Homo-oligomer: A and B are copies of this chain.
Amino acid sequence: MILTVTLNTALDLTYGVPELVPHASHRVSDMSERPGGKGLNVARVLSALGHETVVTGFTGGSTGAVLRELLAGLPTDATSPNAPAPITDALVTVAGNTRRTIAVVDRATGDTTQLNEPGPLVTADEWTALLGRYEELLTGADAVALCGSLPPGIHVGAYAELVRPARAAGVPVLLDTSGEPLRRGIAARPDLIKPNADELAQLTGSREPMRATRDARRRGARGVIASLGPNGMLAVTPEGSWQAAPPAKVLGNPTGAGDSAVAGLLSGLVEGLSWPNRLRRAVALSTATVLSPTAGDFDRAAYEELLSRVGIEEHAPAAR
Contacts and interface: CB of A to CB of B under 8 A. Distances in A.
A69 B25 CA distance: 27
A34 to B, nearest CB: 14
Interface residues of A, number: 27
A28 B8 CA distance: 14
A239 interface: no
Given A31-B117, A62-B62, A22 B22 contact: yes
Given A28-B117, A102-B102, A22 B20 contact: yes
Given A62-B65, A62-B66, A102-B102, A28 B113 contact: no
Contacts of A116: 25-28
Contacts of A27: 116, 118
Interface in A39-69: 62, 65-66, 69
Contacts of A102: 102, 115
A34 B22 CA distance: 23
A104 interface: yes
Contacts of A17: 115
Given A24-B113, A25-B113, 20 more contacts: A17-B115, A20-B22, A20-B113, A21-B113, A22-B111, A22-B113, A23-B106, A23-B111, A23-B112, A24-B114, A26-B114, A26-B115, A27-B116, A28-B115, A28-B116, A28-B117, A28-B118, A62-B62, A62-B65, A62-B66
Interface of A: 15, 17, 20-28, 31, 62, 65-66, 69, 102, 104, 106, 111-118
